[in-house]
């Protein structure tokens, strides 16, 4: 899928069921400078926010943007099978094989979305770091402590708290709401993600998972409505300030 196709979508168009669940990439365009893809309006706003952050000495960079269903499925199955690191809510490693399937599913959901239910499917959400604060040769880890006071990205966190809304972004995983743990690196572009969240209901998700080679399928299917409420719907609401500002950013920076 090329950028031109993504740009042909009318601005503000609601994502289709395939786009919402990561099974199409018709709604995203590449950001070659960062090696990721985002929905065009989100990309424009991110570039504007990045330019503003640069004036504060922050090199705001997305390290993960759009992710498709298959990629999310590989992450999920890897954690279920124990071939990828599975962490508990305090970031300590768990042994997948020691857990019953239902326990494994519950543990995975603390940090990892169900395939079809990742906000990264929408192209509106990305994980960000301050590249200036990352020592040369250090790996990008995305740990809460890095973004807390005293952490390498503490300044980035402070800057985002003050300015992200001005560009249409907010932190959906701002605090523990009983499901996904706080993710101070995960930004969401409100004008795209707010309608996407509203559209992604249990039936749509169930249909997306129907033919997928999902490990733990029975455990997931039996509690899908509960998981939807807890891990998908229980996020910070899109702030009115972000929704209002986003329209201005895109009007100002996009060619007519």
186 binds Zn ion (CB under 5 A): yes
CB of 203 vs Zn ion, minimal distance in Å:
25
Q: In this structure, are residues 151 and 138 in contact, taking their beta carbons and an 8 Å threshold?
A: no
127 binds Zn ion (CB under 5 A): yes
Q: Which is nearer to Zn ion, 128 or 219 (CB)?
A: 128
Q: Which position's Cβ is nearest Zn ion?
A: 186
152 binds Zn ion (CB under 5 A): no
CB of 97 vs Zn ion, minimal distance in Å:
27
Q: In this structure, are residues 188 and 172 in contact, taking their beta carbons and an 8 Å threshold?
A: yes
> Hey, how many other C-beta atoms are within 10 angstroms of the C-beta on 5?
13
d(CA 187, CA 120): 10
> E-assigned strands of the chain?
29-31, 36-38, 60-64, 86-87, 93-94, 125-130, 169-170, 186-189
Listed in sequence order, the residues at least 6 apart from 118 whose beta carbon sits closer than 8 Å to its beta carbon are 22, 67, 72
37 binds Zn ion (CB under 5 A): no
CB of 247 vs Zn ion, minimal distance in Å:
24
121 binds Zn ion (CB under 5 A): no
CB of 218 vs Zn ion, minimal distance in Å:
27
> How many residues of this chain bind Zn ion (CB under 5 A)?
2
Please report, as ranges, the residues that interact with Zn ion according to CB under 5 A: 127, 186
């Amino acid at each position: 899928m090329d950028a031109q196709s993504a740009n042909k979508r009318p601005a503000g168009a609601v994502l289709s069921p395939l786009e919402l669940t990561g099974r199409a990439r018709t709604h995203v365009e590449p950001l070659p400078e960062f090696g990721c893809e985002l929905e065009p309006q989100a990309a424009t706003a991110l570039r504007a926010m990045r330019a503003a952050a640069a004036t504060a000495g922050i090199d705001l960079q997305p390290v993960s943007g759009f992710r498709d269903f298959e990629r999310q499925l590989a992450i999920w199955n890897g954690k279920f099978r124990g071939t990828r690191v599975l962490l508990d809510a305090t970031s300590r490693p768990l042994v997948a094989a020691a857990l019953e399937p239902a326990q494994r599913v519950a543990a995975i959901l603390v940090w990892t979305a169900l395939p079809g239910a990742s906000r990264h499917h929408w192209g509106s959400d990305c994980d960000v770091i301050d590249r200036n604060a990352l020592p040369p040769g250090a790996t990008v880890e995305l740990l809460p402590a890095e973004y807390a006071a005293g952490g390498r990205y503490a300044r980035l966190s402070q800057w985002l708290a003050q300015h992200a809304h001005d560009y249409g972004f907010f932190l959906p995983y701002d605090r523990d709401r009983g499901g996904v743990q706080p993710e101070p690196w995960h930004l969401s572009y409100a004008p795209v993600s707010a309608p996407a969240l509203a559209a992604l209901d249990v039936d749509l998700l169930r249909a997306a998972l129907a033919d997928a080679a999902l490990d733990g399928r029975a455990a997931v299917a039996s509690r899908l409505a509960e998981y939807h409420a807890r891990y998908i719907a229980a996020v910070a609401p899109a702030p009115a300030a972000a929704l209002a500002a986003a329209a201005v950013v895109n009007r100002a920076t996009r060619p007519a």
